[in-house]
Amino acid sequence: MSVTVVGSIAFDAVTTPFGTRDRMLGGSAVHFALAAAFFDEVHVVGPVGGDFGEAEYEVLRARGIDTADIERVPGGRTFFWRGEYGWDLNDRVTLDTQLNVFAEFEPKLSAASRAAEVVFLANIQPELQRQVRAQCGAARFVALDSMNLWIETARDALVEAISEVDCVLLNDAELRQLTGEANLVRAAREIRAWGPRAVVAKQGEYGAALFTDDGFFGLPAFPLETVIDPTGAGDCFAGGFMGYVAAHPNGELDHELLSRAMAYGTALASFNVEEFGVERVARLTSDELSERVGELKRITHFIESPVALRG
């Protein structure tokens, strides 16, 4: 089994109350791939410019990630995003988005990328997500992420893309904006009526919630004393979530399995926010990851003990 991801491969400029980075490796596909690579082989699909160098490739290759479908446009510039966070790290402002090489990109997947059984359409233009989806005929589980920019500028294509996947991961505000529904339970049900059988609402430092036809499952974010930069946390979550699915090629992809996948997503996202960009996840060990999943289980589990209630 392997995982294919299409999404942004980026240089990010980020300011948080704890520091600034003017140009660091980022992008939804990059954050996703570094997380998913703990579970399976990952193929990254997307373009970069001539400014994307060996050092950037090496971060991915060091984790065994397949970069054959990263198309380098020597005269072009890599996708660029600039964002800023205030004290409330759930709240960020996008100051600049430059699609650059993504504006002309037409994905042509290698046989290995097309054969993946798990596919993640990370945040990028919905039309590109659809083109990649169409080429991945062997997939048994496809999920999609998006953001307000695409809800506002390409809603019809996004709704089409959503109708072609098994699972949607969006943050609360995006779910509300997309459906026009204030209540998340209703918003998730509406999206499931468009086609997907699972919806994950990402809730930043408050955790994540899973909605399927078989029920609901929620996990808080892992409690951390130090949070430096939340950029890419959602993509790391998706990488852990989808990676766990990919690691179970024979298991039924039911509510129970997706609930366990949420734990790996939550643990990976928690490491991501401890440092800027990909810094922490790029040197994370599998022992550290397993230990945190165990800790997460301990702090979210309780033993039901009936008590005599009055009245």
Q: Nearer Cβ to ligand AMP, position 201 or 233?
A: 233
Q: Nearer Cβ to ligand AMP, position 147 or 168?
A: 147
Query: Using an 8 Å Cβ cutoff, are 3 and 122 in contact?
Result: no
> Which residues pair with residue 287 across a beta bridge?
none
Query: Using an 8 Å Cβ cutoff, are 142 and 167 in contact?
Result: yes
What residues numbered 269-288 form the site for ligand AMP, per CB under 6 A?
none
Residue 231 near ligand AMP by CB under 6 A: yes
C-beta of 17: minimal distance to ligand AMP in Å? 16
Q: Which residues contact 115 (CB under 8 A, 6 or more apart)?
A: 2, 138
Q: Nearer Cβ to ligand AMP, position 8 or 131?
A: 8
Q: Which stretch binds ligand AMP (CB under 6 A): 7-15, 155-163, 250-258, 297-305?
A: 7-15
C-beta of 301: minimal distance to ligand AMP in Å? 27
Interface pick for ligand AMP out of 3, 5, 12, 175 (rule CB under 6 A): 12
Q: Nearer Cβ to ligand AMP, position 128 or 253?
A: 128
Q: Which residues bind ligand AMP (CB under 6 A)?
A: 8, 10, 12, 26-28, 81, 97, 123-124, 147, 149, 231-235
